[in-house]
Amino acid sequence: DVKVTQSSRYLVKRTGEKVFLECVQDMDHENMFWYRQDPGLGLRLIYFSYDVKMKEKGDIPEGYSVSREKKERFSLILESASTNQTSMYLCASSRSGISTDTQYFGPGTRLTVL
């Protein structure tokens, strides 16, 4: 079974703090993704990575950056957290370079920025 883990289930941070969200997958997947989920908006893609050190912006990259130094790990960074970044953050991975491959998700991190 594919296992995608995220470092925290719940996180509370203050405005202006630098926030790191970590995601690890154990199935040697090429692709990794970060989404945010907000009520009524579904999942929106922040960034994705198709290889180590490679990244592409998604639909809402502003205010975020990412890092992928190892194949199994994909980090999402909020350089200076703001209250409008309060959300549920979901990490996913998929097997190969095929865009239509199934994505497998982690349990999510619910981030609150005060």
Partner 1 sequence: AQKVTQAQTEISVVEKEDVTLDCVYETRDTTYYLFWYKQPPSGELVFLIRRNSFDEQNEISGRYSWNFQKSTSSFNFTITASQVVDSAVYFCALSEYTGGFKTIFGAGTRLFVKA
| Residues found near partner 1 in the complex (CB under 8 A) | 9, 31, 33, 35, 40-45, 48, 50, 56, 58-59, 88, 90, 92, 99-100, 102-108, 110
Cβ proximity to partner 1, 15 vs 98, nearer residue: 98
CB of 2 to partner 1, least distance (A): 9
In this structure, what are the phi and psi dihedrals at residue 84, rounded to the nearest 5 degrees? Answer: -75, 5
20: CB partners within 8 A, 6+ apart: 7, 75, 76, 77
Instruction: State in angstroms the smallest separation of the CB of 80 from partner 1.
Output: 26
Mapped onto helix, strand or coil, the DSSP state of residue 14 is: coil
Which of 79, 106 has the CB closer to partner 1? 106
Nearer to partner 1, 11 or 45 (CB): 45
Nearest distance in Å: CB 78, partner 1: 19
CB of 112: closest distance to partner 1 in angstroms? 15
Structure tokens at 14: 């203050």
Q: Using CA atoms, how far apart are residues 86 and 78, in angstroms rounded to an integer?
A: 11
Residue 92 or 113 with smaller CB distance to partner 1: 92
Do residues 27 and 93 touch, judged by C-beta distance below 8 A? yes
Q: What phi, psi does 83 have (nearest 5°)?
A: -60, -30
